[in-house]
Amino acid sequence: MPTLAELLSAYPPEVDVTPRQVREARTGRTRQLVVLDDHASGTQSVAGLPVTTAWSQEDLKWALATGAPGVHVVTGTRAMSATETEDRDFDVTRAALAAADELGVDIDVALRSDSTLRGHYPLETDVVASCLAADADHHIDGLIVCPAFPDAGRITVDSIHYVRGERDIYHPAATTEYAADPAFAFDTSSIPEWIEQRTGGRIAASTVTRMTLAQLRSGIDAVAAILMAARGGMPIVVDAASDSDLRALALALYRAEESGKRFLFRVAPPFIREYLGQDRPATLRGSDIEALREGGRAEGAKHGLVLVGKPAGLTDRQLRELRRRRGLREVEISLPALLDHRRDMHIDEVVARAAQGLDAEHVVLRLSRDGSSGDTDYSLDGRLASGLLAIVRKIVAEHPLRFVVSRGGAIATTVARALGVRRAWVRGPLLPGAVSLWQAEGGPADGVPFAVYAGTIGDEYSLTDVVDLCANVPIPPRQPRLVPPTVAIAPRALQARTAPAVADAGEADSTRAGADAGASETTEAAKSKDAPAASHLAVIGLGATGLPIAACLAETFSVVGFDIAEARRELAWRHGVTSALSAREATDGANLVLLNLRDAAQVADVLFGDDGIAAILAPGAIVVLCSTVGVAEAREIATRLAASDIHLVDAPVSGGPDRARRGELLIAVGAATDALAVAEETLTTLAARIVHVGTTPGDGQAMKIVNQLLAGVQVLATAEALSLARALNLERDAVVDFLRLSDTASFVTTERAERMKAAHSDTTTAAAPVHNPLAVMVKDLGIVASTAYHSGVGVPLAGLTEQMFLLGQRAGWGEADDSVIIRLTEPEERH
């Protein structure tokens, strides 16, 4: 794939056009630009313009009466159905024409849409064009299609649209994750071909006017000549690779318009700025935002509210960095709960948790991964949007907010309504071209800084930087990575294989990993992968927790993994992990090794066996022990590694496969400070919280043993409680919902209660996903009992719990999920 320099090497340099030249060309021009924004993030490139989230004639009249050269109207259509979009665009366009007529002004219309070719095309341009055509003064000669957003790495060259990936490599848009959008999928990067496909052949690619980069950079006269030839509202696809290219287009458009031509626009955010001749807005500072709070509802408020979509990809990485740098409370909004009988109860629960959190720290509201909606926030359908609306409105009514940050345009549109932001001003960017700050004009959000963050732009630090700016605290310098990130721009759906869900340990018996699976076990997956990089992370053990850990790390780092089971290596490959054929192969060249193995014997075999990896690790290497093996065992391993100048970071993990995949584990660490410093970025990627409990390996194990005592007892107690509830003829869903809200609620009780719903029959026991094998619980409780005995502490409840789980193991359920223990606590006739 090419770099930008390689893409542009055959083209002339850009025509040097300044914003001042564009403003001068606008001198005496009274026509105002009405921008229909398909979600709220489209204001990210401008400043000093009015924005309205309503579309009555009075609201449009207010915006136009300000005299601003452009006004934004947030329609929110990208999250709507086609029918809803058609009605919304018709209403907005008619209201804009009526308001303009009342004020005696003339308007042009632009449809600000996505810079990666998503959105309702051609529906929106057809609807707006038909409304304008009904007005004799608004004939449309041409439709300008220009999705370029150079700041964000979206450019068009020779009518092919490109998206910048990591390491500044440019990928054709159809090979990126955006092309697999569930609502607006596409399979061509050629914009004329995209037009033909989206119009169902009504507009053939061969009939689309193409304004190439060579033409655009040949001079304003040549560009204006192309525009002067526009007829019948046909599309004109415009190349652009820089802001100056967009300004050259603006100058040519003004020349054509002076001759009577009129255009409709389907464009990305920066076109609006360049067409209006605005200078690039200065990035706002924390002190600027502080001034907005004076005299408003945010004055004196201590903490802010952050809203994000489903954790995936960039969202995941940004949340991890936010957790690492700032204290915060996370509250999950369950999509399924908003769609069933739990709706009202869940809304109240979320509001209560958020309000409690805001008393002490910033609060993040995030959508759950589950539910019928896709992974993009464009699928925020009516019921989900109304639920989010109710949640935010209640929080705003009950608690003062220092700021609100909304990540993702569809979510921001809903949040703006919840905040009562009907009319506002765009004050400028918090990050260049990525995040826009609004100041509401009156209403419940008066004086509350509202940051609208486009969900697909920025890096893992961007969200935290925005929160710091809004909180008016210094942004620390960015630290270099331990290892280089992987290049993974193309979605799994567009690659040769389709990725299944992670964490089905039932697909293969592989929570253990031997030191060597043998060269004869070569798989097609292993053959097709590149050789391990010289600097990478190695993950040994790809079982129920090890696989999601490797998959999570692979989103940020170069990861090579190994498991003794071929099926697990295949699954890991599908999730971006390079598969190795032995532990030594995976470890060769690694600067950090994570062990996710079942017990101390497996750890010792992998490290010190006949083909152990300790023999090939370089002095100073770091081994991270994520398994629960026991205090004495961890200290013995550390001592043996230290003899080769290899450092052990004792870091047993808690939270299960789902949290591992999301990077939300709880990790107890026992390690020297300098060793932890080397491993910290990797652990932070995996963890919602890291607790450094001591400086000696074994200290982390000690904390995990205490945790496992409580976990085992709680799992058994939950099974008994649900069995009693069933005997009392209580409906299980209602019981689980009640327990979730009660004082006895914990992650273990609520999460296991959900899993126990499906653990009553032999069939579901065999087929259910395995989050934590029962045999692992038996092993952990054995460690608890042994540790307590040698410490002189009686643990009778833990001992009884261990015996119950041993009975389950003897019944043949060792590799089933530990929630199957409920089958021992319920009467046989109830199964």
Question: The tokens of 385 are what?
Answer: 């949007």
State the Cα–Cα distance between residues 303 and 67, nearest whole angstrom.
36
Among residues 318, 538, 292, which one has the least CA distance to residue 401?
292
State the Cα–Cα distance between residues 448 and 696, nearest whole angstrom.
47
Helix (H) / strand (E) containing 626: none
Asked if residue 483 lies in contact with residue 534, where contact means CB atoms within 8 angstroms, the answer is: no
Among residues 368, 372, 297, which one has the least CA distance to residue 333?
368
Measured N-to-C along each axis, helices 732-741 and 747-756 cross at an angle, to the nearest 10 degrees, of 170
Q: How far is CA 290 from CA 294, 300, 303, 360, 787, in A?
A: 7, 11, 13, 20, 54
Burial class (CB in 10 A: 0-12, 13-18, 19+), 809: middle
Concerning whether 394 is annotated as a catalytic residue, the answer is no
Which stretches of 695-795 are DSSP H helices? 699-727, 732-741, 747-756, 762-767, 774-791
- CB-based contacts of 228-233 (< 8 A; 24+ apart in sequence): 228/256, 228/259, 228/261, 230/141, 230/142, 230/256, 230/261, 230/263, 231/141, 231/142, 232/141, 233/129, 233/140, 233/141, 233/142, 233/143, 233/264
Helix (H) / strand (E) containing 306: strand 305-308
User: DSSP 3-state assignment of 248?
Assistant: helix
Among residues 18, 24, 50, 22, which one has the least CA distance to residue 37?
50
Per the listing, tokens 């159809």 go with 174
State the Cα–Cα distance between residues 517 and 101, nearest whole angstrom.
77
Report the chain's C-alpha Rg in angstroms: 29
State the Cα–Cα distance between residues 608 and 617, nearest whole angstrom.
11
Q: Please state whether beta strands 435-440 and 559-562 pair in parallel, antiparallel, or not at all (unpaired).
A: unpaired
Question: The tokens of 304 are what?
Answer: 């802010």
User: DSSP 3-state assignment of 355?
Assistant: helix
State the Cα–Cα distance between residues 264 and 278, nearest whole angstrom.
20
Instruction: Write the single-letter amino acid at 299.
Output: E
- CB-based contacts of 787-796 (< 8 A; 24+ apart in sequence): 787/630, 787/631, 787/702, 787/705, 788/709, 795/709
**The one catalytic residue among 261, 310, 704, 779:** 704
**Residue 619: how many other CB atoms lie within 10 Å:** 8
Q: How far is CA 268 from CA 25, 112, 177, in A?
A: 22, 6, 18
State the Cα–Cα distance between residues 783 and 790, nearest whole angstrom.
11
Q: How far is CA 20 from CA 108, 230, 256, 267, 275, in A?
A: 21, 27, 19, 21, 11
Q: What is the C-alpha end-to-end distance of the chain, expressed in Å?
A: 58
* Phi-psi label, residue 617: left if phi above 0, alpha if psi -120 to 50, beta otherwise: beta
State the Cα–Cα distance between residues 431 and 435, nearest whole angstrom.
5
Per the listing, tokens 């366009």 go with 93
State the Cα–Cα distance between residues 537 and 592, nearest whole angstrom.
5
Among residues 269, 181, 312, 180, which one has the least CA distance to residue 453?
269
Q: Which residues are catalytic?
A: 704
